[in-house]
Amino acid sequence: MVVAGSGKEQFKTFNVSTAAAILAAAAGTPVVKGVSRSVSAISGAADILDVLRIRPVADLASIPDAMRKTNIAFVSYPLFCPRYAARYDGVFDTINPASFFMPVATLCVRASRFLFGLAHTDVELSARALQSIRPDIPAGAVVSTDLTDGETVDEYCGVGNAHLACITSGLLSATIRANDAPTREWRAAVAHRPTHAGNAALAAEALAPAGDTPATRLVELNAALIVDSGAAAKDSLQRVRHARRSGEAMRLLTRLSESR
């Protein structure tokens, strides 16, 4: 499963997709996760991996070995597209046309599925673009949540209007799930922290066995989408919840840190 996000949200959440990728890997799904330094927030995935002492693969040839050892490989985008990354990273802090497909399109690994978080509600357009650009990947999903008018995040949330476009066997379907509006407490619980250390700590806390918080629920929901290619069915939610509550996710986090 290839996992990537557009970033550039209007409301900044903590690094949900990174935690969700680790949780999905702990639940048994092989994951390749694209990472970069921050573009539109305090911390990008690469920034919190530094704090957690997790090293992305050094070169493309190392991806299979990382997958065999830990079921997950973190890959810096410049490894695939150094000239593009030099022009793109840190330049565009808002959604632009390339944001609809480039994060997934640049991760040129052999995969059966993808999950892409888009900070824009037109998930169907993004899915069609990826279907055209990556016909080698037979299934995938693009997700987004409109928390309020003009306030969009690149995750699938249990609040606001959650948008999901799925590709299965070449067929595309799009749905919108209406949920309650986000509360002040929910926002405070999942908001991007002002330091790399704070964001890394919240990502790790969301993987801890104890507790059932807005952060753990948000990570579980997105991990279930990774596991189940956009369906987030009840059994996939149960799988990722078991991986967290059994301590498997934290054990994987420890292994990733120790392998540095």
Instruction: Summarize pLDDT for 191-202 with one digit per residue, the tens.
Output: 999 999 999 999
Which amino acid would we find at residue 107? L
Distance CA 260, CA 229 (A): 30
Query: Side chain identity at 49, as an amino acid letter?
Result: L
- The pLDDT score that the predictor gives to residue 39 is 65
Domain 2-258 listed as CATH 3.30.2350.10: no
pLDDT at 124 (0 to 100):
97
Which residue is it, tokens 């995969």?
111
Res 100: pLDDT: 87
Cβ-count burial of 55 within 10 angstroms (0-12 exposed, 13-18 middle, 19+ buried)? Answer: middle
For the record, the structure tokens of 53 come out as 């002492």
User: pLDDT tens across 93-119, in order?
Assistant: 677 788 888 888 888 899 999 999 999
CB-based contact 14:193 (threshold 8 Å): yes
As a whole number of angstroms, the distance between CA 232 and CA 244 comes to: 16
Report the C-alpha gap between 110 and 32 in whole angstroms: 10
pLDDT reported for residue 229: 67
What local confidence, expressed as pLDDT, does residue 231 receive?
A: 57
Number of H helices, E strands in the chain: 11, 8
CA angle 164, 167, 173 (to 5 degrees): 55
- Per-residue pLDDT of 8-39, as tens digits, reads 777 889 999 999 999 999 999 999 999 887 66
Q: Return the closest-CA partner of residue 144 out of 157, 158, 127.
A: 157
| CB crowding 1-20: b at 16 or more within 10 Å, else e | bbbbbbbbbebbbbbbbbbb
CB 141 within 8 A of CB 165: yes
- Find all residues with CB under 8 Å of 251, minimum gap 6, and list them: 26
What residue type is 5 in one-letter code?
G
Cα gap 98→238, rounded to integer Å: 35
Q: Which residues contact 258 (CB under 8 A, 6 or more apart)?
A: none
Residue ranges of the chain with per-residue pLDDT less than 50? none
DSSP string for residues in 105-155: HT-----SEEEEE-SSS-HHHHHHHHHHH-TT--EEEEEEEEEETTEEESS
Predicted TM-score of the model (pTM): 0.93
